[in-house]
Amino acid sequence: MALTPVIFILGPSARDLGASLARHLPGELREPEEIKSEMRRAFADRRPIIGLCATGILVRILAPLLAEKKSEPPVIAVAEDGSVAIPLLGGHHGANDLARRIAEFTGGTCAITTASELRFGVNLEEPEGYRLANPEHLKDFVSGLLAGERVRVKGEAPWLDELPQAAEARLSLLITEYALPGGPGALVYHPQSLAIGVGCERGAPATQLLDNVKDALAAEGLSPAALACIVSIDIKADELAVNELARHLDLPLRFFSGAELNAETHRLKTPSEAVFREIGAWGVAEAAALRAAGPQSELIVPKTVRGRTTCAVARAPGPIAVEGLGRPRGSLSIVGLGPGSPEWRSPAAEAALLRAADWVGYGLYLDLVQDLRGRQREHRFPLGQEETRALHALNLAGEGRDVALICSGDAGIYAMAALVFELLDPKSGADLSEAARGIALEVVPGISAFQAAAARTGAVLGHDFCAISLSDLLTPWETIERRLHAAAEGDFVVAFYNPRSQNRTDHLDRAIAILRAHRPSDTPVIAASRLGRPGERLQVVDLGRFTSGEVDMLTVVIVGASTTSSFLRGDGSRVVYTPRGYSTKHGALS
- What is the Cα–Cα distance from 420 to 413, expressed in whole angstroms? 13
Cis peptide before 328 (omega within 30 of 0): no
Domain 6-113 has CATH 3.40.50.11220: yes
Nearest CA to 139 out of 114, 169, 111 is that of: 114
Grouping H, G, I as helix, E, B as strand and the rest as coil, residue 475 is coil
Predicted local distance difference test score (pLDDT) of residue 1: 42
Predicted local distance difference test score (pLDDT) of residue 282: 92
Quick one: CATH architecture of 194-327? 2-Layer Sandwich (3.30)
For the chain, give every domain's residue range: 6-113, 130-191, 194-327, 330-447, 450-583
- SS3 string, 368-405, reads CCHHHCCCCEEEEECCCCHHHHHHHHHHHHHCCCEEEE
Quick one: CATH architecture of 450-583? 2-Layer Sandwich (3.30)
Assess whether the region 6-113 and the region 450-583 belong to the same CATH fold.
no
Q: What is the mean pLDDT of each run of 10 residues along the chain (590 residues)?
A: 82 91 89 86 89 93 79 90 90 80 91 65 79 88 85 88 87 94 90 97 96 97 96 94 96 94 95 88 95 96 96 96 92 93 88 91 92 86 91 95 95 95 92 90 95 94 95 93 97 94 85 95 94 86 91 91 93 92 61
Structural contact between residues 540 and 565, judged by C-beta atoms closer than 8 angstroms: no
Domain 330-447 has CATH 3.40.50.10540: no
Where does 298-350 show beta strands of DSSP type E?
Answer: 298-306, 309-315, 327-328, 331-336
Predicted local distance difference test score (pLDDT) of residue 299: 97
584: how many CB neighbours lie within 10 A of its CB?
A: 9
Query: 95-106 and 15-24 are packed helices; what angle lies between their axes, rounded to 10 degrees?
Result: 120
Grouping H, G, I as helix, E, B as strand and the rest as coil, residue 349 is helix
